[in-house]
Amino acid sequence: MQNVVVIVSDHLSTRAVGAYGESDWADTPNIDLLAERGAVFENMYTSYPLCGPSRAAFWTGRFPHDTGVLCNGLKVQGPDILPNGLVPEDMPTIGESFKNAGYHTIHFGKCHDSGGLRGFEIVADGTRESEDVPVGYPENNDTWKDNWAMDRFAEWAEGGFPDSFCAVVDLQNPHNICGWIGEHSSLDGPVSHAISPKNLPELPKNNRVTDWASLPLPIRYICCSHNRAGQTSHYTDEDWRYYIDAFRHYAKMADEHVGTILRLLAEGGVLDDTLVILMADHGDAMGSHQMATKQVSFYEETARVPFIVAGPGVPTGGQRVATLTSLLDLFPGLCEYAGIEVPDGLSGVSFAPLLKNEEVQREFVAAEWYSEWGYTISPGRMIRSACFKYTCYLEGSGGADDPTGGEELYDLETDRGEMVNLAADPAYRAVLLEHRDMLRRHIREQEDPFYRQKVVVDKRWRSHALGYQHHSGPTAPMAAHS
């Protein structure tokens, strides 16, 4: 039996990973080495750009509406607000499948799985502060939990690897970027930075939004529904460059842990017998579209994630896999690779044939949005087809009957930065209708209750002049806590 190690990074964007070649500032030598030993998936999408729902979904291979884990948690209740569930006890999980197949299954680090990690022995988490913290890059629990998890992984590895194991190392970083925003941002004062402005990364070309009115309401007013978006709503170009610099720093911390994991596997004599996967639960906006972190949008920076696979039978040399894939493919892919029976009812498609250069036909992949904490509820869906990205939000549209006004359509061949929303462009009417049909078919086939979900958004979160630069006052979660 082959061993499996899945390394999950929370919040990692492809732009911050050197192997993806999307920036000249990425600093991830260890992940790049892993890519050199294996294959790089170029079009891997999360099924929900938020930690909790994404994790419950990929550990079970089911869409969030199926697991019932619809948000990170509900801090408000109401008649139109759906309860946030736990993964049903009879829903198969990766951990359970591998455990039943005789693997030693063990998990280190962040869980936030709502039951999706059933079947893994969960090593209790804790924190260890770093010894040297560079000025300008404050650390919080995210980083300290990673230090602790890596200490536990090292103890386990140095104790001798068991025969046939499936281990998960769940890293928080670069999630520490969220705390960085909180420490460096202020709605009513200048943004302060403790480091020299030398060698700051360049702004992404899609940093500035030019046509606010073309965007669906939840995107136009993300500054009012997401506290980090509110805190960054007045960022200057230079502030965004500091943000990206800090992101590079926290991503490098995750990268160093990847290096340690690979070294310990090699020293234990098991690296060549182990399939290693590096992935993220979702990405980060990275200053694109004047956005930080993630919430509600399905732009490439947040919905598309790094996915790198290396190990026995995997082509080496950083070979690119361009096929459309979904993190829901992890479960069937791991099972097929390891020769374990694939449970019935999974929503993903095995990625294992792609590792043998066999073709997998995929017309589109889909993703979902409901809410972060329940303060604003703006159900949305994404369809990523071969050349286009289509999104549909219920807010501000007529739903299933006429989604006009809640849609985005981007031509990813000519507009990789998703700057021009073509949804209302008569020249793209046929493409739009084709993608509406794909979404309807997806909803029917997956028994997705999307069109029946309710929008719950107070008008005051949709009230200021267009543009995040006009945001003032608290965001919905901040107001609820004040």
Q: Which is nearer to Zn ion, 249 or 471 (by Cβ)?
A: 471
Q: DSSP letter string over 37-68?
A: TSEEESSEE-SSSSHHHHHHHHHHTS-HHHH-
Q: Which is nearer to Zn ion, 48 or 468 (by Cβ)?
A: 468
Q: Which is nearer to Zn ion, 47 or 225 (by Cβ)?
A: 225
Tokens 């769940």 locate to: 170
**CA distances (Å), origin 83, targets 75, 78, 147, 371:** 11, 9, 34, 11
Q: How far is the CB of 467 from Zn ion (least distance, A)?
A: 9
Q: How far is the CB of 302 from Zn ion (least distance, A)?
A: 18
Q: Which is nearer to Zn ion, 63 or 461 (by Cβ)?
A: 461
Per the structure block, which two tokens stand in for 114? 């709502």
Q: How far is the CB of 380 from Zn ion (least distance, A)?
A: 18
Q: How far is the CB of 464 from Zn ion (least distance, A)?
A: 5
Q: DSSP letter string over 366-417?
A: EEEE--SSSSSB--EEEEEESSEEEEEESTTSBTTTB-TTSEEEEETTT-TT
Q: How far is the CB of 221 from Zn ion (least distance, A)?
A: 5
Q: DSSP letter string over 78-112?
A: -TTSPPP----TTS--HHHHHHHTT-EEEEEE---
φ, ψ for residue 339, nearest 5 deg: 75, 30
Q: Which is nearer to Zn ion, 176 or 232 (by Cβ)?
A: 232
Q: Which is nearer to Zn ion, 167 or 285 (by Cβ)?
A: 285
CB proximity list for 93: less than 8 A, separation 6 or greater:
59, 60, 87, 115, 116, 117, 118, 119
SS3 158: helix
Q: How far is the CB of 297 from Zn ion (least distance, A)?
A: 14
Q: Which is nearer to Zn ion, 37 or 471 (by Cβ)?
A: 471
- What are the residues facing 410 on neighbouring strands? 389
Binders of Zn ion in range 64-123 (CB under 5 A): none
Q: How far is the CB of 96 from Zn ion (least distance, A)?
A: 43
Q: Which is nearer to Zn ion, 216 or 306 (by Cβ)?
A: 216
Binding mask 214-253 for Zn ion (x = CB under 5 A): ---------xx-----------------------------
CB proximity list for 188: less than 8 A, separation 6 or greater:
none
What is the size of the binding site for Zn ion (CB under 5 A)?
Answer: 3
Binders of Zn ion in range 438-477 (CB under 5 A): 471
Q: Which is nearer to Zn ion, 20 or 468 (by Cβ)?
A: 468
Q: How far is the CB of 389 from Zn ion (least distance, A)?
A: 24
Give the integer Cα–Cα distance in Å for 37 and 147: 26
Contact between 289 and Zn ion by CB under 5 A: the answer reads no
Q: How far is the CB of 240 from Zn ion (least distance, A)?
A: 17
Give the integer Cα–Cα distance in Å for 100 and 120: 11
Q: How far is the CB of 110 from Zn ion (least distance, A)?
A: 30
Q: Which long-range contacts (CB under 8 A, 24 or more apart) does 355-364 make?
A: 355/39, 355/309, 355/313, 355/314, 355/315, 356/313, 357/315, 359/323, 360/323, 362/323, 362/324, 362/325, 363/438, 364/324, 364/438, 364/442
C-beta of residue 270 within 8 angstroms of C-beta of residue 3: yes
Q: Which is nearer to Zn ion, 99 or 220 (by Cβ)?
A: 220
Contacting residues toward Zn ion, per CB under 5 A: 223-224, 471
